Amino acid sequence: MKIKTDQLARTLKANTYPVYWLSGDEPLLLQEAADQTRRYHRDAGFTDRETHTVDRNFNWGQFRKSTENLSLFAERRIIELRLLQPKLEDEGKLALADFLEANHADLIVLISSPKLESSVLQTKWFKSIESRSVVVQIWPIDRGNMPRWLEARMMQANIHPEPDALKILTDRIEGNLLAAVQEIEKFKLLAGTSDTIKLDAQTVMQVVADNSRYNFYQLVDAALVGDLARTQKILNGLQAEDAYPLAILGTVTRELRILQPMVEKREKGQPLTAILQSARIFFNRKQAVRTAISRLSSSLIWELLDHARLVDQACKGMNPANPWDELSMLLIRLSGSQVCTATGHLAETN
């Protein structure tokens, strides 16, 4: 069955499953879910543990040997499979299916992997695995939920942040939960007390560096909701991290091509809810996509794709323009603002 992270504790207590598959791209949350699963089963007597890192060259014979050669007095054991890719090769699929059929009461398989794409989740093979296992889809903490998540973590550490302090801290660690945990530990060490710690904005400004970390999808979503300041902040951050502008452009153009038929449907009078359902948009992106569909026009999307062609040429040295400047102008237009063209006229974005 498929569950959310906050349902894991209740699911562990309710029943024991042969396979737990943890999927997500947020390292801290993935690690904590794995720790929680290990800890519960260790307390239940699964004291032995075996770990395998699975890449394309992994020998699935090792896994079969571990699961098939069981003695009468074998220890209850957790076998961990850490997938480097969000899917299994055919040999791995067959090995996992055979393990489930064998129904070993003294073995638990704990799989951790990058986020599973919908193309994998919809396969007949995966649905068969899911029906007999626990699949935990771990989503990143989005910007809207970050203050709540961060405040809860701080309260657990007996730290009570003022509203301004929480806002500054959120801005400085966004997209980097590992840095958030480290900063909380730093506050505890600096305070040097077991009493309740009151955290103000001045302390945060003095102690916390800008540890925010962004990805291409956060950049696109910021532009889709029309948040120009955030869009430019993320783009600047990616540039400082030496991200490849052509890779960013690929994410932007892919999103534009996905949006184009949805915007056409909206222009023909179809309701937004039906459009989003048919497109199977992940729930954590629905608000950004909904806002973009409501705001953008089909003609503008084609103009943006034409602009993207010029950005592509700049990235490849076929155009003397600065690729980061061109990418910035493209995102400004996508976010709903106006940019000045080479002729000095304002380009309309809506």
Which residues touch 33 (CB under 8 Å, ≥6 apart)?
5, 8, 22, 136, 138
How far is residue 229's CA from residue 235's CA, in Å, rounded to a whole number? Answer: 10
Report the chain's terminal Cα–Cα distance, integer Å. 43
Q: Is the pLDDT of residue 341 over 80?
A: no
pLDDT of residue 342: 41
- For residues 125 and 227, what is the distance between their CA atoms, to the nearest angstrom? 41
pLDDT exceeds cutoff 90 at 340: no
Predicted pLDDT at 194 = 66
Closest to 93 in 3D by CA, of 58, 66, 117, 118: 58
pLDDT at 135 > cutoff 50 = yes
224 contacts: CB under 8 Å, gap ≥ 6 = 255, 288, 289, 291, 292, 334, 335
Q: What CATH number is associated with residue 247?
A: 1.20.272.10
77 & 160 share domain: no
Residues 83 and 164 in one domain: no
pLDDT of 215: 83
Taking the mean position of all CA atoms in its chain, how far away is CA 323?
A: 27
Statement to judge: residues 132 and 33 lie in one domain? yes
Among candidate residues 116, 138, 160, the one where a domain is terminated: 138
Is the per-residue pLDDT at 158 higher than 60? yes
Which tens digit of pLDDT belongs to each residue from 214-240? 788 889 999 999 999 889 989 998 898
pLDDT of residue 305: 94
Q: pLDDT band at 9, cuts 50/70/90? A: very high
By residue range, what is the domain housing residue 20?
2-138
Same domain assignment for residues 74 and 56: yes
**The pLDDT value given to residue 213:** 73
Cα(122)–Cα(118) distance, integer angstroms: 6
For 290-333, write each residue's pLDDT tens digit.
Answer: 999 999 999 999 999 999 999 999 998 898 999 999 999 999 99
Q: Is 195 helix (H, G, I), strand (E, B) or coil?
A: coil
Residue 123 and residue 176 share a domain = no
Is pLDDT larger for residue 281 or for residue 233?
233
- Are residues 268 and 162 part of one domain? no
Residues 111 and 232 grouped into a single domain: no
CA–CA dist 261, 265 (Å, integer): 6
Q: What is the mean predicted confidence (pLDDT) over 139-146? A: 85
Residue 350 confidence (pLDDT) above 50? no
Mean pLDDT, the chain, integer: 87
What count of other Cβ atoms lies within 10 Å of the Cβ of residue 192?
A: 7
Q: What is the mean pLDDT of residues 242-269?
A: 92
pLDDT at 339 > cutoff 70: no
Alpha helices in the chain (DSSP H): 8-14, 27-43, 60-68, 90-102, 118-121, 124-131, 146-156, 163-173, 177-191, 201-207, 216-224, 228-240, 245-267, 272-279, 286-295, 298-315, 323-334
Query: Could you give the number of structural domains in the chain?
Result: 3
Q: For residue range 175-195, what is the model confidence (pLDDT) as tens digits?
A: 788 888 888 888 888 777 667
> Do residues 297 and 170 share a domain?
no
Q: How confident is the model at residue 345 (pLDDT cuts 50, 70, 90)?
A: very low
Each residue's pLDDT tens digit, 56-108: 889 999 999 888 866 555 578 999 999 998 888 899 999 999 999 988 888 99
State the pLDDT at residue 71: 52
Residue 74 has a pLDDT of 58
